[in-house]
Amino acid sequence: DTGVSQDPRHKITKRGQNVTFRCDPISEHNRLYWYRQTLGQGPEFLTYFQNEAQLEKSRLLSDRFSAERPKGSFSTLEIQRTEQGDSAMYLCASSLVPSGSLETQYFGPGTRLLVL
Amino acid sequence: DAKTTQPTSMDCAEGRAANLPCNHSTISGNEYVYWYRQIHSQGPQYIIHGLKNNETNEMASLIITEDRKSSTLILPHATLRDTAVYYCIVRVPPPSPRGFGNEKLTFGTGTRLTIIP
């Protein structure tokens, strides 16, 4: 257990529905990352926050995706009008920058999404 | 970030040392080598990182060649619980002297390590 938690762990939804995932980072960590992982591939970066500011978004993050970190603590990732291609594992990671040593990202267990 | 090349899969006998290679021939001077692993259905787990000196922690050792174009992750006494996909990543970790480094981790497809009983 890295201290990063994600909820729910599994989600099954029908195409067209909206879903929201939550990530709780390690409490003192100011950075929070979202990644997506499809079967057989490594995780791919989606976006990251420094405190409450969203500083970078990948091209993978289409208009249907939105992420928030309103108070610089937990974060939510929402997918609107889900498509079957959104089926994947959604991973959250957190880190502390600067930390006095090299930045290390710690991952949560992920939320596995299946869109029917 | 420099690209990395890893074998697709490897087997290792339980109790033996597992040596996982990684090529990163285009690595730049300020890029570090990171290793993560991912056990089935779990999030990636940080293992170790290094710049140019060999590193050791409670999980593994990292050997980086003098020219830094390749490295080897060593699990000294592999157990069945070490069966996982191992990812080698090179990046400039934030913050760099010029400001932010490369914030994201760029994963390849990694090496699937299977420990054989």
In the predicted model, what is the mean pLDDT of residues A1-19? 95
Nearest C-alpha in B relative to A100? B95
In the predicted model, what is the mean pLDDT of residues B5-17? 97
Nearest C-alpha in A relative to B32? A102
Q: What is the pLDDT of residue A1?
A: 80
Mean pLDDT of chain A: 93
Phi-psi region of B52 (alpha: psi -120 to 50; beta: other; left: phi over 0): alpha
**What is the three-class DSSP state of A56?**
strand
Q: What is the pLDDT of residue A6?
A: 98
For A9-23, A46-60, B5-19, which range has the lowest pLDDT when averaged over its residues? Answer: A46-60
Q: What is the pLDDT of residue B103?
A: 78
Best CA proximity match to B88, nearest among B49, B42, B40: B49
- Which pair of structure tokens corresponds to residue A28? 């003192």
Contact call for residues B33 and B55 (beta carbons, < 8 A): no
Q: What is the pLDDT of residue B45?
A: 95
Q: Check A42 against B109: CB less than 8 A apart.
A: yes
Distances (CA, A) of B5 to A62, B9, B10, B69: 29, 12, 14, 11
Q: pLDDT category, B96, cuts 50, 70, 90?
A: low
In the predicted model, what is the mean pLDDT of residues B83-99? 80
Q: What is the pLDDT of residue A29?
A: 92
Burial of B111 (0-12, 13-18, 19+ CB in 10 A): buried
Q: What is the pLDDT of residue A56?
A: 87
Q: What is the pLDDT of residue A104?
A: 87
Q: Check B94 against A97: CB less than 8 A apart.
A: yes
Tell me which chain B residues have a C-beta less than 8 angstroms from the C-beta of A40: 109
Q: pLDDT category, B65, cuts 50, 70, 90?
A: very high
In the predicted model, what is the mean pLDDT of residues B39-52? 93
Q: Answer whether residue B97 shows pLDDT above 60.
A: no
In the predicted model, what is the mean pLDDT of residues B8-17? 97
Among A41, A102, A107, whose Cβ lies nearest the Cβ of B109?
A41
Q: What is the pLDDT of residue B27?
A: 93
Q: Check B104 against A110: CB less than 8 A apart.
A: no
Q: What are the beta bridge partners of residue A49?
A: A32, A54
Q: What is the pLDDT of residue B91?
A: 87
Residue-wise pLDDT tens digits, A61-70? 889 999 999 9
Q: What is the 3-state secondary structure (H, E, C) of chain B?
A: CCCCECCCEEEEECCCCEEEEEECCCCCCCCEEEEEEECCCCCCEEEEEECCCCEECCCCEEEECCCCCEEEEEECCCCHHHCEEEEEEEECCCCECCECCCCCCCCCCCEEEEEEC
Q: Check B43 against A41: CB less than 8 A apart.
A: no
Give A105's DSSP letter: -
